[in-house]
Amino acid sequence: MTTTQTTPKTTTHILGYPRVGSQRELKFAQEKYWRGDISQQELKEVGSLLRHRHWGDQVGAGLDYVSVGDFAWYDHVLGTSMLLGHIPQRHNHGHPDLDTLFRVARGKAPTGCACAASDMTKWFNTNYHYIVPEFTKDDTFNVSWTQLFEEVVEAQKAGHAVKPVLLGPVSYLWLGKEKEADFDRLSLLPRLLTAYQQILNKLAALGVEWVQIDEPVLALELPQAWADSFKLAYQVLNGSTKLLLTTYFDNITHHLDKIVELKVDGLHIDLSASPEQLNDVVAAIPAHWVLSAGVVNGRNVWRADLAQQLSILAPVKAQLGERLWLASSCSLLHSPIDLDLETELNPEVRQWLAFAKQKCREVTLLAQALDGSDVAVQECQHYSAPIQARATSELVNNPQVRQRTQAITPALAERKAPYAERARQQRAALNLPLLPTTTIGSFPQTDEIRVQRRDFKAGRLSEADYNTALKGHIADAIARQQKLDLDVLVHGEAERNDMVEYFAELLEGFAVTRFGWVQSYGSRCVKPAVIVSDIYRAKPMTVEWITYAQSLTDKLVKGMLTGPVTILGWTFPREDLSREAIANQIALALRDEVADLQAAGIQVIQIDEPAIREGLPLKASQWQTYLDWAVNAFKISAASAEPETQIHTHMCYSEFNDIIKSVAALDADVITIETSRSDMELLKAFEAFDYPNEIGPGVYDIHSPNIPEVAQVTQLVEKAEALIPAERLWINPDCGLKTRNWEETEAALHNMVTAAKALREQWQAKVS
């Protein structure tokens, strides 16, 4: 390799690597263990195999450090709780083990009690979930879970230079919730820091030089007490190892004056989410700190424009020398693993993309160019050419779509009548009982369904035979619901591989991968499509299946659509077009689908928007701008419905308190939400705000295999009725049922319907 000058070497690393495996090996091993098909030791062997493979990917790409501690059996926040010995009392039965972790996450494991799982919510503004830590004033922290230290030793024995990854103490406290009144969890910080000291001392004793300590809450506009708490935290933690304070997902310049006073040895910033912060940070950091520049986007799949990054970072390299590190913007957890597996993608599209394995190489190639390699500089120019040429690709831009979105007016987002009038017409048209029962949409994706889908895609099953099989599954779902005596039925979504990917396959403008799996939580993986061009609907997408289901019953069957903000949020979006513009394109396509469903005689249509809360910018001062266009996109999609057509929407695992006015502004006739894990706590948002429309608070947790008792459902509905009048309440599970089996599903729904009927009889006189 030739060089034009002698330049100090740029240290390279990433913030974390996907853990599930390119073929979802971890998912399948977890589920086998939960079913009792393999032993815990066999499960652990799969985890070790994947860790070694992923460390090999990082070393093979030329990274200087491998990330250790980014592997988790469910999610990394729960892993931190285990590390700290911080387990809810109901799950804490002696020395914690792997089954303890699974009981906290799922409410059930192969051993131990079946008890309520801990709350789960979204990791900042991503579709990754974490188990929420529960805090009480008497909490203690005890470092008794040895996974992190064992994995450090495991990587060292394999000959790797390791950089452990640790969720920081302030962020850990912020991400939890108080389980007692009149108690501030921030008061636990001194106690927590003692445990963190022990962790860092143990890592130092293992020969660790650098620890990546993640404090993503620094991207938020924190309350003063929380912002001030960092000073104490890092005074206490200073000394054992070098600390790389890691931030991501947004800029941190609003806290920069406090950050530069902390007792750490370096700072990582996300230059993909916020490139404008670079100059301010370079000017402010202490002279002995390293600056880790997160220039390769860990949250999207687009190839990095390395030539552009080289021109931006060259002056920074000249100023900082070896103090400049290069990295991914955030953990590559949010990216698929290996683009090389995608042999069926359009070749033009494929050359625009990079997955986790390729992103590691992007980091090292850019570093080599910054270090003066003429060959690497040329490679960067060549690597960037396709992504630069994309701007003028005919594949990307559709003039008709642009014209239609530019013609959007405020009137296009308004229903033909206000809610009060619509409600009157819907009561007359639908004739539903008090406390109507329904489900969220999906039913179990059985092995039979998956095999038939796989055989169809492989050409082993004809389209006609596949469609016949799907109609059989739909008929079965309708029959089961009628036997359970649900009031509003669903077709069960047997034809759908995923609530977003299904629509991505049918809408123009998306590319769909075969192996682009990304972990959402636990063993749940999703395969986000890639938005590559302007989006439009070429033909109806759901009408045939929904009308077939409706033909089988006299009861109402819901049309099931995924909303524009969720399709946007759960795909890899374009970076050359605003999120608002993309959402409007999707909204117009869905608007056409709503009109066609209605014309086909479907009277109830659900447009799911579970991602609307997670799409919020991290800074509260920017929320309203986002909420305005997100709400408007939903309303555009729904506004083709006539007043007597009832529009439902669904949201799950979100905190509604902060956005309750915008939730109401969606103007959906019925909203169903997840409230069971929080024991209806999320309904507090509706206590202070007089929500005007109908609402279905989820009455049992579908992510746990535990079957809700009738009394449990009854108690939750009674809690809901204290806040929402019975005449505006619906009874439903908290989410779709595709991950459950039929035995669990029917038992749970039977108890739900039994509770609803008893309460209906009891309350009928009260509301008459």
Q: Please, what is the end-to-end C-alpha distance for the chain in angstroms? A: 85
Distance of CA 622 to the CA centre of its chain: 20
User: For the purposes of burial, counting CB atoms within 10 Å of the CB of 330, is it exposed (0-12), middle (13-18) or buried (19 or more)?
Assistant: buried
Any residues with CB less than 8 A from the CB of 177 and at least 6 apart, and which?
119, 132, 133, 134, 135, 185
Q: How many residues does the chain have?
A: 768
Distance CA 748, CA 680 (A): 18
Give me the residue label for tokens 């949201």: 651
Q: Cα–chain-centroid distance for residue 159?
A: 34
- 3-class DSSP assignment, residue 84: coil
| Residue among 228, 196, 230, 203 nearest 86 (CA) | 196
Q: 444-457 burial, b if ≥16 CB within 10 A, otherwise e?
A: bbeeebeebbeebe
Q: Are strands 324-328 and 290-296 parallel, antiparallel or unpaired?
A: parallel
Give 552-609 as a DSSP string: T-SSEEEEEEE-HHHHHHTSB--SSS-HHHHHHHHHHHHHHHHHHHHHTT--EEEEE-
> With 0-12 CB in 10 A as exposed, 13-18 as middle and 19+ as buried, what is 311?
exposed
Of these residues, 86, 160, 268, 703, which one is catalytic? 703
Task: Report yes or no: 299 and 334 within 8 Å, Cβ to Cβ.
Answer: yes
Q: Write down the residue that tokens 């630069």 correspond to.
A: 388
**Quick one: how far is CA 330 from the chain centroid?**
14
CA angle 327, 329, 333 (to 5 degrees): 100
703 annotated active-site: yes
Residues known to be catalytic: 703
